A = this chain, B = another copy of it.
Amino acid sequence: MTSSKRPPAGVLDRGLWLLSQFSMERKKLPLKELASLSGLDKATALRLLKVLVDWGYLVKNADGSYSPGPSNLRLASIYRATSNTITRIEAPIARISERVGQTTAFFVRSGEERICLARDHAYQDFRYFIEVGGSVSLSEGGAAAQLLMAYSGEAGERHDETRGRGYYISRGERNRHFASVAMPLFESDGQFLGALTITGLAVDLPDDDLIGFVDIVRAEVAGAGLSLSR
């Protein structure tokens, strides 16, 4: 298992690059694997890992493998406290999912990933996991990813279309049986914040229904001083 990408140059970049190797699918990784996944020499990786463990961003498990550590909770809780977006979006999300009877979630772009900042607590389909903090590569699609790309300056005809339309509908793009509609969310001053999505079983959701959701969302987020266009 060799690395898919070349490792970055700087030491701090390399440390964070190591952290980026962890995911919900790869929660625990031994040195060997971290070295090969990251493309770093194992001695180099080992030195960086020591530092990350010292600071609590990773922990070294009894079996010698590494996994994310408690310091991440610390920063996450500060992040949550500063992000007024999260606090403001939670109430609208609850009302939207109530009204449409489907899963509602909010995503932001971070680098080449999309991260879930909030989701409703009501509709948990075991076939379709969305966790707060969960992230997937933008290239792995989904409505949220397409929308985030379109509204964060990505060029291309497909993205032009999305921007013109003001929403993006996907059917089975990321998860075979599901359909989603994603909408851009803007601060009152016009700043782009992220993507709000409504997802449910494809068989329950013809395109017309998904398009109809847009108006519901527009109405609900307005109460929090947010809008779907600049």
Contact = CB atoms under 8 A, between A and B. Distances in A.
Given A12-B52, A55-B16, A115 B76 contact: no
How many copies of the polypeptide does the oligomer hold?
2
Contact of A13 (B51, B67, B71): B51
A82 B133 contact: no
A190 to B, nearest CB: 12
Contact of A133 (B10, B73, B108, B111): B73
B81 A135 contact: no
Given A115-B70, A115-B71, A78 B23 contact: yes
A69 interface: yes
Interface residues of A, number: 49
Contacts of A73: 76, 79-80, 115, 117, 132-133
> Which residue among A48, A55, A71, A135 has the maximum number of chain B CB atoms within 10 Å of its CB?
A71
26 contacts: A11-B12, A12-B15, A13-B54, A15-B16, A20-B55, A23-B78, A24-B78, A27-B78, A27-B82, A56-B110, A67-B79, A69-B79, A70-B79, A70-B108, A71-B110, A71-B115, A72-B72, A72-B75, A72-B78, A73-B79, A74-B113, A74-B115, A76-B76, A76-B133, A77-B132, A77-B133
